[in-house]
Structure 1
Amino acid sequence: MSQTKLALHENFMVCVIFCERGSIRVADKNIEVEGSIICIKPDRYHSVVIPQGGAEILYLDGVKLPDNQDDFTQLCNDWTYIPEAFHNKEHCKIDTFRNYLNAKEVVPDKTLLTILEELYTSPLNRMTQDELAIKLGLERSQALKYFKDVTGQTFRRFKKWAASISVTSNVFQGQIIGHAGIDAGFSDAAHISKTAKALFGITPSVGINSLRNISTLVKYE
Structure 2
Amino acid sequence: MEEALRPGDTAFSTSVFSVDVAGVARHPNPVTCVVRGRRGPLSVVGQGQSVTGDIVIIRPGVEHHIICGEGGLSAMYLDGARWPGPGTLAERLEGRLGELALAGMKLDSGAQRELRERLDHGQDRLSRRIGAVLEDLAAEPMARMSQDELAKRLGLERTQALRLFKHSTGTTFRQFKRWTGLQHAARLIVAGARVRTAAMDAGFADTAHLTRTFKQCFGLTPSQAIAGLPTIGGG
TM-score with structure 1 length normalisation? 0.85
- CA change 1:55–1:121 in 2 (3 A) is farther
- CA change 1:112–1:54 in 2 (3 A) is farther
Provide the rounded CA distance (Å) in 1 between the counterparts of 2:20 and 2:76.
Answer: 22
**Structure 1 equivalent of residue 107 of structure 2:** 85
1:39 shift after superposition: 0.5
**Structure 1 equivalent of residue 37 of structure 2:** 19
**Structure 2 equivalent of residue 116 of structure 1:** 134
Q: How does 1:141-180 map to 2 (within 5 A)?
A: 141-180=159-198
1:25–1:50: 8 Å Cα contact kept in structure 2? yes
1:204 shift after superposition: 1.4
Q: How does 1:26-37 map to 2 (within 5 A)?
A: 26-37=44-55
1:214 shift after superposition: 7.6
Structure 1 spans left out of the alignment, 5+ residues: none
- CA change 1:25–1:213 in 2 (3 A) is farther
Structure 2 spans left out of the alignment, 5+ residues: 1-18
TM-score with structure 2 length normalisation? 0.80
SS at match of 2:107: helix
Q: Alignment identity in percent?
A: 33
Q: How does 1:199-218 map to 2 (within 5 A)?
A: 199-210=217-228, 212-213=231-232, 215=234
Provide the rounded CA distance (Å) in 1 between the counterparts of 2:32 and 2:188.
Answer: 21
1:104 shift after superposition: 2.2
2:46–2:89: 8 Å Cα contact kept in structure 1? no
- CA change 1:111–1:213 in 2 (3 A) is farther
**Structure 2 equivalent of residue 181 of structure 1:** 199
2:26–2:219: 8 Å Cα contact kept in structure 1? yes
Provide the rounded CA distance (Å) in 1 between the counterparts of 2:129 and 2:70.
Answer: 40
SS at match of 1:81: helix
- CA change 1:85–1:110 in 2 (3 A) is farther
SS at match of 1:94: helix
1:14 shift after superposition: 0.7
1:112 shift after superposition: 2.3
1:68 shift after superposition: 2.5
**Structure 1 equivalent of residue 155 of structure 2:** 137
Counterpart amino acid of residue 85 in structure 1: L
CA RMSD in angstroms comes to: 2.3
1:65 shift after superposition: 1.7
Provide the rounded CA distance (Å) in 2 between the counterparts of 1:213 and 1:110.
Answer: 31
Q: 2:82 aligns with which of 51, 64, 85?
A: 64
Provide the rounded CA distance (Å) in 1 between the counterparts of 2:232 and 2:152.
Answer: 34
Counterpart amino acid of residue 147 in structure 1: F
- CA change 1:110–1:84 in 2 (3 A) is farther
Provide the rounded CA distance (Å) in 2 between the counterparts of 1:69 and 1:214.
Answer: 29
Q: Matched residue pairs, number?
A: 212
2:42–2:68: 8 Å Cα contact kept in structure 1? yes
Provide the rounded CA distance (Å) in 2 between the counterparts of 1:194 and 1:62.
Answer: 23
**Structure 1 equivalent of residue 214 of structure 2:** 196
SS at match of 1:127: coil
